[in-house]
Structure formats: C-alpha cells, structure tokens
Amino acid sequence: MFALGEGPAADPAGAHFDRRIRSFQPRRSRVTRGQGEAIRRLWPRWGLDIDGQRVLDLDALFDGLPVVLEIGFGMGEATVRMAADDPGTGILAVDVHTPGQGNLLNLAEQAGLTNVRVANGDAIILLSEMLRPDSLAGLRVYFPDPWPKKRHHKRRLIQPEFLTLAATRLRPGALVHCATDWEPYAEQMLDVLTAHPEFENTREDGGYAARPAFRPLTRFEGQGLDKGHVVRDLLFRRVQGGAEG
C-alpha cells in the first residue's frame, strides 16, 4: 500500500474552493494491494493533485503532445485503450476515486504507455486555476453522474457555466465528446451544447452522433446495452475565434 504523502491527497484543494457546488461525490474507497502499489510507485511520476495553486505546463508534462482532458475515467480501462490506440495524443485523466486512479496507473504501466497522466480532484478547479487558455486539444466526459433527482440537477457537470469555462481552455477546433446512458441528461447535454455560442455540433442534423471508433465500448456500457439502455454520444467542436480568458 502507499503511505501518506506518496499518493493522491484526500482533499487537494483544501478549504480554498469549498463554496462551489460539486458535480461529484468525493470518495476514497479501499484500494487493492496492486492498486496501492501502483500508486506508491507511479504517482510521483504520473500523478498530480488538483490544488489550484499552480499553472501546469502541459508541454513539459506530455513532452509536447496535444492534450485531451478526460473527466471521470472509472477504473481506467477505456482510457488506457484510447491512449494505446493514439500514442500521439496525451490524456490528462481526472477522477476522485482512489481505486480507479491506482488501476489506471497499473494498466498504463502494463501497456507500456507514456501518454497518460492522472489528476486527483475537482476538474472545475483544474480548468479555472491550473490550465492556460487554448491549452487543450479536446475534452471527454463519458458517463458522468446523471444526478437523476430534480433537486440535484444543479450538480450535473454539463451546464452553460461549465461550457463557458471549458471554452477558454480549448483550442479552436477542439472536439468535445460526451456520452451518457441517461436519456434526460443526454437531452440536457444536447440542449446546452447546441445553445452555447462557443460550440457547434459536428452533426449537420443537430442531433446525437454515432459512437466513434476511438471510444471503446466498456464492460459497464455493454451490460447496460444488454438491458436495453440507450447510449447517446455528442460530438461538438469549439468554434473558431471564440472565448478568451
């Protein structure tokens, strides 16, 4: 297992950003021996805490590769497959689930990958405080928490305010790719992305996209499809000459 100070912090941003409504449930579940060992060995090299106290040099972090931000990666299987299929793109993968962080690090090492970095904490703080304008080549949000109860809808990640922030960090032409199996959330995603002036749908008919070949079908997703769930993909691009910040 990893010792205190060797892995992701329990609350990397401390009390600096406590007032924001969070779109995730912080959880530090029990890690397996293999996950803990991967964190202990690999976190100093491939991991970082989202503390909001510094600006990242993505060129240095990824040896000059274009970087895609992935928010919420679960146990990391799909992230590793995408990274292996596209070694010319860096993936900055953000999550708060310690077992998933350890699993992703372990899988990346087993696959011999060098284009994955794991960030621990709040993606909003990462975007607002730690990334430079126009520094990202893409954004991926796959199967985010749908917060199904109406009183919790304000916690959903894909909101106009989030898209406005993300637009300042995405290069013109950058691809925003969302996927969900929760139909009401898919409808909200399509509505807010379509209405936002900084993004345009890659579909000429203005609807959902087919799952692109680069997004792997995950085991969880396959189980949902077997049960009759409908998975929606949305592919939008950051427009030219958009927001500054």
Q: Report the candidate in 120, 105, 118 with the shortest Cα–Cα distance to residue 32.
A: 105
The string of DSSP letters for 169-236 reads HEEEEEEEEEEES-HHHHHHHHHHHHH-TTEEESSTTSSPBPPPTTS---HHHHHHHHTT---EEEEE
What is the rounded distance in angstroms from the CA atom of residue 104 to the CA atom of residue 39? 9
Nearest-angstrom CA–CA distance, 210 and 212? 6
Catalytic residue among 145, 181, 191, 205: 145
- 145 catalytic residue (yes or no): yes
Active site residues: 145
